[in-house]
Structure 1
Amino acid sequence: MPRKDPCQKQACAIQKCLQANKYIESLCEDVIQAMRKCCEVHAGENSVCCSGFTKEHKSTDTNTTL
């Protein structure tokens, strides 16, 4: 039996938050941050939920200006 994805709970929370907030990402920043942290913790574990998420996060960081 396949093992449960360690970040599935956070991925579902993102989907639920985005749907509830008409897909306005800024209103879901807390759950998105929780997903980032989960993906960092489970980086070596082939998480399907994290595949692409960490790549997206890294590419977004380079475009952010403070």
Structure 2
Amino acid sequence: MPRKDPCQKQACEIQKCLQANNYVESKCQAVIQELCKCCAQYPKRRSVVCSGFEKEEEET
């Protein structure tokens, strides 16, 4: 059985927030920050959910 992604809960919260706010990202910044905090706690490739954030960091 695969391990649960450690940041899955935060990713789901972002989706819920975006749906509730007609996909206006600015209304979900607090939830997005929670995901960023979660991603910062784990080594690269530990969380599939965080892979998009890792790519953004490499590009900047």
Range of TM-score over shorter length: 0.7 to 0.9
State whether residues 18 and 24 of structure 1, in contact with CA within 8 Å, keep that contact through their aligned partners in structure 2. yes
C-alpha RMSD over aligned residues: 1.5
Amino acid across the alignment from 1:18: L
> C-alpha distance in 2, partners of 1:25/1:43?
26
Alignment correspondent of 2:28: 28
Alignment correspondent of 2:49: 49
Alignment correspondent of 1:11: 11
Alignment correspondent of 1:40: 40
SS in 1 for 2:51: coil
Query: Structure 1 residue 34: deviation in Å?
Result: 0.2
Aligned residues: 59
Amino acid across the alignment from 1:11: A
Amino acid across the alignment from 2:46: N
Q: Deviations over 1:11-40 (max 9, x none)?
A: 000000001000100100000000000000
Q: Which runs of 5+ in 2 are unaligned?
A: none
TM-score (norm 2): 0.85
Q: Which runs of 5+ in 1 are unaligned?
A: none
